[in-house]
Copies of this chain bind each other. A is one copy, B any other.
């Protein structure tokens, strides 16, 4: 790939290139998270404020990635920053129970009453791993069903059918026997999904699913799909687990479950819930969660041993999470109507722009989340996304970044924050128009 905008990018990011050459000497591929790499090398961030990232070369970017979609109030909102400075003085890691964790849990429970009980961990990968363990403990069954393209973190059990080609192993070092208890179902195809589930129903411990496919590329559910899975699970004595790590507190203060009318047995939260600090939360039905009660079940045979970890419920994360949720509660109307409106504006505007230029494009999304797909077909699942023109999407995102100071993590979904404004969406649309007209990118595809 050699585009003009890449020349421009390299010209503007000399210090990042220098840092990247140091990074590859200490990190495989120069990164600690695979998706953070993009060609020719990622820019190195030196600061972030509101909607903006600054890099080490002094470039500014309007951020549509927003810390893996976690930063609903923007980067470093004052209310969180001040509280973290105070908390740091008063203890970074107590290593013990503390009041602020109780407050955060009670706040979540009030907003999401199905979170009758919960456990805090430090990452989403841990929360989904514990969800599955608890489902197996509860049902005495072994099989976990997940969506093709569904992303639930890097834990071993759920590293199946994540990346295209989905039928192949997710890389080296995963023992096949460990994957034998995962069944994958096609997102948004209820009949085909139920057919698969039917074949394993006697040993089906749970279905775990994102309400909107996130990592796979922003695919909302069609009416009835999630409800159909839930119905099957409940009838079958399997648990229905909703992975709301991305959607919780983003699509609504009460989660995607409230939007889609779902009643999961267990669900996972993360990202927004920690106010930008490391968190994963497993929540749900009291009876099920009680299988993990180390007091009532002191014998190891009767306990489902799920962790929290050294950093679980640490006062920094608890404080950042609590203040973020309190802000969202107090400004609910303002925040969600704004970010949803900006999301609609982006989806509508981009759809119109590409249609007018004769470029087959679909803009998927829900609320404040959106992503463009260059495809003649309707995008309904992870396979459709894998079959869309991903190279073009990458180039489009790189062009936005290099020539217009607009940052999408290339090929990844965008999530808007309360710090974004209408003017930002207008700039995104203008920049996109300019790329369509000026560059040769879309010429071949149109």
Contact present for A181 and B171 (CB under 8 Å): no
Q: A439 on the interface (CB 8 Å rule)?
A: no
Residue numbers in B under 8 Å from A325 (CB-CB): none
Q: A43 on the interface (CB 8 Å rule)?
A: yes
Copies of this chain per assembly: 2
Query: How big is the A interface, by class?
Result: 35 or more
Residue numbers in B under 8 Å from A300 (CB-CB): 163, 168-171
Q: Mark A4-44, 1 if CB is under 8 A from B, else 0.
A: 00000000000000011011011111111110110000111
Residue numbers in B under 8 Å from A135 (CB-CB): 173
Contact present for A32 and B123 (CB under 8 Å): no
Of chain B, the residue at the smallest CB distance from A31 is B97
Most buried by B among A120, A153, A306: A306
Stretch at the interface among A82-90, A328-336, A337-345, A424-432: A82-90
Q: A320 on the interface (CB 8 Å rule)?
A: yes
Contact present for A120 and B32 (CB under 8 Å): yes
* Known contacts A26-B118, A67-B310, A68-B93; 12 further A-B pairs (Cβ under 8 A): A23-B102, A33-B308, A46-B98, A70-B310, A84-B88, A92-B275, A122-B278, A123-B309, A133-B156, A142-B175, A177-B181, A277-B316
Contact present for B32 and A119 (CB under 8 Å): yes
Contact present for B65 and A89 (CB under 8 Å): no
Q: A322 on the interface (CB 8 Å rule)?
A: no
Residue numbers in B under 8 Å from A124 (CB-CB): 309-310
Contact present for B153 and A30 (CB under 8 Å): no
Which of B42, B66, B89 sits near A97, CB closer than 8 Å? B42
Most buried by B among A36, A91, A302: A91
Contact present for A94 and B304 (CB under 8 Å): no
Residue numbers in B under 8 Å from A43 (CB-CB): 96-97
Contact present for A93 and B122 (CB under 8 Å): no
Residue numbers in B under 8 Å from A306 (CB-CB): 154, 173
Say whether, besides A97-B30, A154-B126, A90 and B42 are in contact (CB < 8 Å). Answer: no
Expressed in whole angstroms, the Cα–Cα distance for A180 and B177 within the complex equals 9
- Which 9 A-B pairs give the minimum distances between C-beta atoms? A154-B307, A137-B173, A137-B172, A48-B91, A85-B85, A67-B95, A33-B308, A32-B308, A34-B294
Residue numbers in B under 8 Å from A172 (CB-CB): 136-137, 291, 301-305
Q: A75 on the interface (CB 8 Å rule)?
A: yes
Say whether, besides A75-B91, A85-B85, A97 and B133 are in contact (CB < 8 Å). Answer: no
Which residues of chain A (136-195) have a CB below 8 Å from chain B?
Answer: 136-138, 142, 153-157, 159, 163, 168-175, 177-178, 180-181
Expressed in whole angstroms, the Cα–Cα distance for A220 and B234 within the complex equals 50
Residue numbers in B under 8 Å from A99 (CB-CB): 19, 44, 46, 56
Determine how close the nearest CB of chain B comes to the CB of A1; give it in whole angstroms: 13
Contact present for B26 and A109 (CB under 8 Å): yes
Expressed in whole angstroms, the Cα–Cα distance for A36 and B102 within the complex equals 14
Say whether, besides A47-B90, A157-B156, A95 and B118 are in contact (CB < 8 Å). Answer: no
Contact present for A33 and B309 (CB under 8 Å): yes
